[in-house]
């Protein structure tokens, strides 16, 4: 498709799945926010994707995670296939439960409440919560779906 920057997302592998990652490699960066609304997300993504592509380290279907750890900012993790010189690198390991949600970002509070109940109902404790924004806003509009995957490290 013309001007495609985000591939069409297939929710099936992520819906109510259990994933185990061992040392999954990411570039880590920080996005400034105001009440969880990102202020410089585009600039952070552009800077990092430029470096990732320059080093030919972009996975076929990259995962971009957000750790909404403050009202004023979030840590973002961009999956890579190898180390990027000059970038802050991070690895993520553990067992994760995932669930796919679809709709406007304003529903995230409802999604988190539902997901916490789902994790608890399975007898698990959520140790960390990540958001996987599967497409940029332009591509979500183009594809007609705004999928967000919630991942709980258990």
Question: pLDDT category, 1, cuts 50, 70, 90?
Answer: very low
Instruction: Write down the pTM of the prediction.
Output: 0.90
For 42-95, what is each residue's pLDDT tens digit? Answer: 899 999 999 999 999 999 888 999 999 999 999 999 999 999 999 999 999 999
Total Cβ atoms within 10 A of residue 55 = 17
**pLDDT at res. 137:** 82
Question: Check: CATH 1.10.10.10 for 14-153?
Answer: no
- Between CA 64 and CA 61 the distance in angstroms is 10
- Between CA 46 and CA 73 the distance in angstroms is 17
**pLDDT at res. 23:** 96
- Between CA 49 and CA 46 the distance in angstroms is 5
* Total count of residues recorded for the chain: 154
Backbone angles phi, psi at 14, to 5 degrees: -100, -15
Q: Where in the chain are the domains?
A: 14-153
Residue 37 has pLDDT above 90, yes or no: no
Which residue in 22, 24, 2 sits closest to 139, CA to CA?
Answer: 2
- Between CA 51 and CA 55 the distance in angstroms is 6
């Amino acid at each position: 498709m013309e001007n495609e920057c985000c591939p069409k997302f297939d929710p099936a592998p992520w819906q109510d799945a259990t994933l185990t990652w061992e040392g999954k490699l990411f570039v880590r960066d920080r996005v400034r926010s105001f009440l969880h609304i990102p202020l410089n997300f585009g600039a952070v993504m552009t800077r990092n994707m430029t470096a990732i592509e320059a080093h030919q380290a972009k996975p076929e279907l990259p995962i971009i995670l957000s750790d909404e750890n403050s009202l004023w900012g979030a840590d973002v993790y961009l999956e890579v296939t190898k180390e990027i010189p000059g970038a802050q690198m991070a690895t993520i390991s553990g067992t994760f439960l995932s669930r796919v949600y679809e709709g406007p970002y304003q529903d995230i509070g409802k999604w988190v409440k539902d997901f916490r109940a789902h994790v608890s109902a399975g007898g698990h404790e959520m140790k960390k919560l990540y958001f996987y924004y599967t497409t940029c806003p332009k591509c979500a509009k183009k594809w007609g779906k705004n999928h967000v995957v919630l991942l709980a490290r258990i």
